[in-house]
Amino acid sequence: MASHTHSARDLLDRHAEALQLFTDRVHAVRDDQWSASTPCTEWSVRDLVAHLTSEQLWVPMLLTEGRTVDEVGDAFDGDVLGDAPVTVWDRAAAEAREAFAAPGALKRTVSLSYGDSAADAYCAQMVSDAVVHSWDLSRAIGSDERLPEELVEFTRREVGPYVKGLPQTGLFAPPVKAEKGADPQTELLALLGRQI
């Protein structure tokens, strides 16, 4: 039993770190960079931050309120950032973190677009998403691209089993080949179709 609580604690720690990583990058975006392009084809910096923000906005709805995807509907479609993108991101991230950290939250089941999922698996997916998009945002705004080793390792373990199916989702480019002897971060990004 103790190991389970440890893994829940570990998952929440990684989740908090991943959100903080992205938060640091959002706070580093200059006023003239919101329309800059990113490694995510067709997404500007603003689009990328809006995507991650809307993902956070879903968390309390699905996890705390127990709503289904259909019930939430298109509430978070379009531009969720308004006139204060940084403030909106900060609030959404804080609320998502709070929802996952609530007692018993990780043991719940959530209704996602592809069916029911364990909340801890949903949280792990959100960690990976924030880690990879932190790199995208760093590259787009000329910020430090190094990702914390623990988060790289966590994300590799998380996406490894289903990496082959990711390009079909339309959210990831096909994997690219990493050079022999590449470091773990480069290998992870290559798996997820990022050209370094």
CA distance 91 to 93: 5
Query: For residue 6, what pLDDT is reported?
Result: 53
29 pLDDT higher than 70? yes
32 pLDDT higher than 60? yes
59 pLDDT higher than 70? yes
Query: For residue 162, what pLDDT is reported?
Result: 80
pLDDT band at 164 (very low <50, low <70, confident <90, very high): confident
pLDDT band at 148 (very low <50, low <70, confident <90, very high): very high
pLDDT above 90 as % of the chain: 76
Choice between 30 and 172, residue whose per-residue pLDDT is larger: 30
H helix runs in 44-118, sequence order: 45-59, 69-72, 85-101
Q: Is 78 exposed, middle or buried (0-12, 13-18, 19+ CB in 10 A)?
A: exposed
pLDDT above 70 as % of the chain: 95
Q: Among all chains, which residue has been given the structure tokens 């590799």?
A: 156
